[in-house]
């Protein structure tokens, strides 16, 4: 049962990252959008989980870095939103 759960988490990560990239490639979302970053962050988190479970450390590190890049971009976006609200007042 535990293997099914971890495998499902891994597949969810693949689906989230792929959907994010597909929507970006189709022009439906932008690289700077919150939705794109969330697809990447959540997808990478799922892939880190399965990689650690499988003891695949290079894959885990690569996806962990991908996740932190997404978190950085999301944080930067949030700061820009707050700054633009302050200037509109």
Q: For the whole prediction, is pTM greater than 0.85?
A: yes
13 burial (CB, 10 Å; 0-12 / 13-18 / 19+) is buried
Mean local confidence (pLDDT), 37-55:
97
Q: Is the dihedral of CA 55, 47, 62, 68 positive or negative?
A: negative
CA dihedral in degrees (18, 42, 67, 82; nearest 10)?
A: 110
For residue 89, name the pLDDT band (cuts at 50, 70, 90).
low
pLDDT tens, position by position, 58-77: 999 999 999 999 999 999 99
Residue 87 confidence (pLDDT): 78
Residue 19 confidence (pLDDT): 98
Residue 6 confidence (pLDDT): 95
């Amino acid at each position: 049962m535990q293997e099914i759960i971890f495998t499902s988490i891994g597949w969810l990560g693949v689906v989230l990252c792929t959907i994010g990239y597909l929507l970006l490639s189709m022009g439906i979302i932008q690289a700077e959008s919150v939705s794109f970053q969330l697809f990447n962050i959540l997808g990478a988190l799922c892939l880190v989980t399965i990689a650690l479970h499988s003891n695949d450390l290079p894959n885990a590190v690569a996806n962990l870095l991908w996740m932190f890049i997404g978190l950085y971009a999301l944080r930067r976006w949030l700061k820009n939103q707050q700054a633009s609200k302050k200037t509109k007042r």
